[in-house]
Amino acid sequence: MNRLVSLLFVLPAGVLAQEPPVAEGLAAWSRIYEVASHPRCTNCHVGDSGRPAWAALGYDPKWLHGMNVQAGDSRIGAETVLCQTCHITAASDNATPHAAPQIDDAWRLPPVALDWRDKTSGEICIQMRNPETNNGFEGQELAAHVRESAFVNWGFEPGGNRVPAPGTAEELARDIEVWIAAGTPCTADP
């Protein structure tokens, strides 16, 4: 027994700390996709149309943002009406149904490269592992950023009787950690 204990001491840490297998990474990815494809995320994660959506708010599922709101190249509505005119930058419990959501960050659309609307699991997976299409994050930085994002945290606790994204921001960040540690596998990979 003593010999076994001392043997464990001399083994390099990497031999014991096995990389999570690809299957575990793919299972984590499928949970990440359930979140990323949820309307609380895809209503903002739209492409160069610059039109945020109002899916899963009780209107037609394909309903775009009312009042013809356009985010423009600025992604904050600088060319027309600023998002901040209605989405005030201040933390709120967003208790009133159908009021404009408010968070402690300037409400805006993500860069066009983070367009996830109507995309497949394989497509979003390939986008999310590439720093050119994940807002510049390498390795585990992505998980750290997701944990802190006011946008992501709002999606899990949106208030106002809105359907939240499944799980919690912490669970999402842990799934991202597992997926990255497993080498960011995607179902579309050969």
Q: How far is the CB of 18 from ligand HEC (least distance, A)?
A: 27
C-beta of 19 vs 73, nearer to ligand HEC: 73
C-beta of 15 vs 124, nearer to ligand HEC: 124
76, 86 Cβ separation under 8 angstroms: no
Binding site for ligand HEC (CB under 6 A): 35-36, 39-41, 43-45, 52, 54, 57, 65, 67, 69, 71, 77, 81, 83, 85-87, 98-101, 107-110, 114, 134-135, 137, 142, 145-146, 149, 151-152, 155, 158, 162, 165
CA–CA separation, 47 and 36 (whole Å): 14
Q: DSSP character for 53?
A: B
Helix, strand, coil % in the chain, rounded to nearest 5? 40, 0, 60
* Per-residue H/E/C for 2-41: HHHHHHHHHCCHHHHCCCCCHHHHHHHHHHHHHHHCCHHH
C-beta of 83 vs 182, nearer to ligand HEC: 83
Q: How far is the CB of 23 from ligand HEC (least distance, A)?
A: 23
Q: How far is the CB of 189 from ligand HEC (least distance, A)?
A: 20
Q: How far is the CB of 48 from ligand HEC (least distance, A)?
A: 13
* Cβ partners under 8 Å of residue 133, min gap 6: 113, 114, 126, 127
